[in-house]
Amino acid sequence: MTDAASTPKVPLALRGLSFVTLMALGLLVMFRVLNQASVFPPVPKDAGLAPRLAKTTPNVREVRFAAEDGAPLYGWVQGRDDAPVKIIQAMGNAEYVGPRADLYARTAGFLDAQFLLFDYRGFANSEGKPSEAGVYADIRGAWRFAVEELKWRPGQIVIWGRSLGGAPATRLCADLLAEPRRESLKAGGPPRALFLEAPFTSIPEMGKVAMPHLIVPQWLCYSMMDNLGRAPGLKLPVLHWHGDKDEIIPFAQGEQLHAVLPGPKTFLRLEGVGHNNIWDDDARARRIHEAMRDFLAANPEKR
């Protein structure tokens, strides 16, 4: 039998170091979970809403297609098939197909446009778990589906990114403008224009807004979504609107992002408007729709 007194004791300093290391690892895991939850909040979503609305909403058909990495996605094609303007919509971080069907119907009618709407992976009717890389693969799959299956011409397609959706929208446009282009995006490009609705500059910069009490909050960000870094390379027409009382994404970030866009661009300041009430006022909605129409007229499809 081994004498307990002869058992080597772990030095106090080593035990302290092990404790600190475990605490640090635990904090890193916690911050990663919190980061994921803040970028993709686990908001309840009604998976039955879109299929129900699809049966009663005019000019809507349900579609299913694969993201670039094969993840199965759910979406709608909304609007007339022969509409001359085609729009791929990238929604915000708690949004999914269905709840804003009336908004897209009004926009489609005003612009004579057709939409491709889709749920990001893990949202409502699309399978998987959302992530930064995942939403990029999702919108690339949507582009490929639009061009190859729906037979939309790249030069007639507008990419519209709202809030968080500005990140996959700007990334897709950057990928379509890149040379050499990704293999999955070789079926045409670039798009006609980019619409940005209340976008942020990057997740690290949003970290400073959400966690101002931390010295360097960006160290704890696992998602980058660097719209500001991509903006100088987006050499295509951009229409951008943002509420100057936005309580979620600072208006100053919108101004900063717009300032570095190099191509034909228009910035629409929405006075006294927040983040989630942009479309609540009919007169304001008409103002945005008219800005869309005028912008597209000034930047026609290039064949």
pLDDT for 201 = 97
Long-range Cβ contacts of 261-264 (<8 Å, 24+ apart):
261/231, 261/232, 261/234, 262/232, 262/233, 262/234, 262/235, 263/234, 263/235, 263/236, 263/237, 263/238, 264/237, 264/238, 264/298, 264/299
- Mark the ranges of the chain whose per-residue pLDDT is less than 50: 1, 24, 26-30, 33, 215, 217
What Å distances lie between residue 235 and 36, 87, 132, 185, 191, CA to CA? 31, 18, 23, 17, 11
CA gap 237, 84 in Å, rounded? 18
Strands (DSSP E) along the chain, which ranges?
60-66, 72-78, 85-90, 113-118, 157-162, 193-197, 238-243, 265-270
pLDDT tens digits along 217-245: 455 555 689 999 999 999 999 999 999 99
Instruction: Please list, in sequence order, all residues whose beta carbon lies within 8 angstroms of the beta carbon of residue 242, skipping any fewer than 6 positions away.
Output: 197, 198, 199, 249, 251, 254, 255, 267, 268, 269, 270
Q: Are 160 and 169 in contact (CB under 8 A)?
A: yes
Exposure string for 267-298, b = 16+ CB within 10 A, e = fewer: bbebeebbbeebbeeeebbeebbebbeebbee
What tens digit of pLDDT does each residue of 76-121 get? 999 999 999 999 999 998 899 999 999 999 999 999 999 999 999 9
Sheet containing 113-118, strands listed edge to edge, beginning at the edge strand earlier in sequence? 60-66, 72-78, 113-118, 85-90, 157-162, 193-197, 238-243, 265-270
CATH number of 45-298: 3.40.50.1820
What is the pLDDT, as a whole number, of residue 224? 83
| pLDDT value of position 214 | 54
Ordered by start, the domain boundaries in the chain are 45-298
What's the pLDDT at 303? 74
Instruction: Identify whether the C-beta of residue 247 lies closer than 8 Å to the C-beta of residue 274.
Output: yes
CA distance 88 to 96: 13
pLDDT at position 172 is 97
Note the pTM of the prediction, 2 decimals. 0.87
pLDDT of residue 23: 56
10 Å Cβ neighbour count for 208? 15
Q: Contact 138/67 with Cβ under 8 angstroms?
A: yes
Question: What's the CA angle centered on 96, arms 157 and 110, to 5 degrees?
Answer: 45
